[in-house]
Structure 1
Amino acid sequence: MAPKSVPLRDTRQLYGKVTRLLHWSIAALMLWQFFGMGLKLLLGRQPVVAFFVGSHQAVGTVLFVLIALRVVWALVNRRSRPDHGAGFWGLAARLGHMALYLVMALVPTIALLRAYGGERAFAPFGFQIFPAQEPPITWTVNLAGALHGELAWLLLVLILGHVVMVGVHESMWRDGTLARMAGRRRAGL
């Protein structure tokens, strides 16, 4: 029997094409961001590091837009998404996803706050979004400076927990969670 095509929207059995596209696009861009920041911590100022760090603002801007779309799409599809299950593990999955969404949205929002109050114009891709502030808005720059990086590392920990739980679902529970997100259908779905 030929597999059915994946629907655009989420269903109770699997995540749709839009959710998958947003999920994997955000995952790839976050990997890029964390890789660049990891290189910066390990190697300091090197040409290869400058290449990755130089794209941080533009990639972060794209991430902000994709994350906003993902949150809206998740809300639109909230009643037709695969269930997280009942009991402790279902609650843990719901809370874990809520934490991921919250921190995922906060990190670029705080960076935008810093950009808004900064002394340099914010112009990713050459389009000015915020002009330079003279003098800078100190509280926005300081707040974002104190929180952006720390929340980003918290996000990395949440992402690693997310990946570990995918491994638990696949290796121990064998419930098809990865198949619902990765595009494969299990028999009977």
Structure 2
Amino acid sequence: MAIKSHKNGFGFATKSLHWVMALLILSAFTIGWYMDFLPLGMAKLEWMSRHKSLGVTILTLTILRIVWRLCEPTPEALSPHKLERGAAKLGHLGLYGVMIAMPLSGWMMSSAANFPVSVFGLFTLPNLVDPDKELFETLRTVHWALSWTIVVLVGTHIAAALKHHFIDRDATLRRMLPGSGSDASSRPSAHKQKESSL
């Protein structure tokens, strides 16, 4: 499998980043939801530290993914509908924006609480803002709103992929699956081949 993408499919690097980030986002959201139910104490602080470390990792990988995407061709969209292609682009831009804004808001929230972010215990990030209780409360609301925004965007993303796979019967989903060939999008599905032979 090619490392870089081309007009007919995604390369190994893009697929790897996509699925690693999907797992990290799922993990960060699950931990964030879980730690909200814990009483204040060492256990909660430990889970909070893991949550923040995952957030910093997601932020770093998002920046890396954007840079990588600018350095390689973007596979051609398979949908024949201009409106659908435009909505997909907006959805991807929204996901990138939230994947940057959400970790940053969490980092700033920790800074406002005067609680520096330690990344897996390896190093500590500098505070982005001065301690400020009112700002902390504002950023906590922003962080909460962004968490549900990413749920909606990811849910829409998954729904669109399933729609392409089960209704449109194209290779939009297959060409992003691990192990699939980078030219998956150039091969019509069995359903389409059957239709064309009738």
* Counterpart contact for 2:28–2:54, Cα < 8 Å: yes
Residue 110 (1) aligns with residue 128 (2): no
Aligned twin of 2:161: 166
* Counterpart contact for 1:118–1:132, Cα < 8 Å: no
Aligned twin of 1:8: 3
Aligned twin of 1:83: 76
Q: How does 1:1-189 map to 2 (within 5 A)?
A: 6-40=1-35, 44-45=37-38, 50=44, 52-77=47-72, 80-84=73-77, 85=79, 86-126=81-121, 127-130=123-126, 136-138=131-133, 140-183=135-178, 184-185=180-181, 186=184, 188-189=186-187
Provide the rounded CA distance (Å) in 1 between the counterparts of 2:144 and 2:16.
Answer: 26
Residue 53 (structure 1) shift: 4.3
Residue 83 (structure 1) shift: 2.1
SS at match of 1:177: coil
Matched letter for residue 10 of structure 2: Y
Matched letter for residue 90 of structure 2: L
TM score, norm. by length of structure 2: 0.78
Superposition RMSD in Å: 2.6
CA offset digits 1:144-172 (Å, max 9, x no partner): 21211211111011001101111101001
Gaps of 5+ in 1: 1-5
Aligned twin of 2:194: none
The number of residues matched between the two structures is 178
Distance 1:30-1:178 versus aligned 2 partners, 3 A rule: same
